[in-house]
Structure 1
C-alpha cells in the first residue's frame, strides 16, 4: 500500500528537507522499514533499541493514535496519511 508520511521538522534532515514523503507497506512496521530503506537513519529516531515505538514519539494513521490501535501492526490502507509527531515537554 502506498501512503504519505508527514515528517516533523526535526527529522527532515533524513528526508532532504521534505515535509512529506511517500512510503510503501501494509502495516506501520512495513512503512517504517520502507522509510528507513529510502531515508537511512530515520527509523532509529522513531524506534527504540528493541524495535518498538519510542516513548516520546507519537504516530498517527489517518488521525488514529497507533498506541490505541495495534502499534506497529496497525494497518496502513492505500492512500493513508501517517503523521510522526515528537512529544514536546515543558512547563
Structure 2
C-alpha cells in the first residue's frame, strides 16, 4: 500500500504518526482515506478540488503537476511539501 508521510505541522491530527499507509490509487483517494481516519486533515491539505496554494505533492521522489489526480502504485511514497520560491 502507498505510504503518506505526514508533515510535522499536521501530526497533531494523526496523534503524532509520521506516516500512514493507505489503499489508494490517486493522491485524492489517499487524502480522502486520511480524512476518514483523521478528520480535518483534508481541510489542511486542500482547497476545493486542489491542493492549498503554496503546497506541492511529491510521489516517489518526483514532484508532480498532476496534483490530486497523480497516480499511486502499491509501493508509492507521498510527501506534501511547501513550495519554495527564489531566484
Please tell me the TM-score bracket, short chain as reference: 0.7 to 0.9
Matched-pair contact (CA < 8 Å) for 2:56–2:67:
no
Matched-pair contact (CA < 8 Å) for 1:8–1:86:
no
Aligned to 2:4: 5
Which blocks of at least 5 consecutive residues in structure 1 are unaligned?
none
TM-score by length of 1: 0.84
Cα distance in 2 for partners of 1:66, 1:11 equals: 21
The number of equivalent residue pairs is 85
Cα distance in 2 for partners of 1:16, 1:10 equals: 12
Aligned to 2:40: 41
Q: Which runs of 4+ in 1 moved over 2 A?
A: 86-89
TM-score by length of 2: 0.88
C-alpha displacement of 1:51: 2.2
RMSD: 1.5
Which one has the bigger helix percentage?
Answer: 1
Cα distance in 2 for partners of 1:86, 1:44 equals: 16
Matched-pair contact (CA < 8 Å) for 1:66–1:72:
no
C-alpha displacement of 1:8: 1.1
Aligned to 1:73: 69
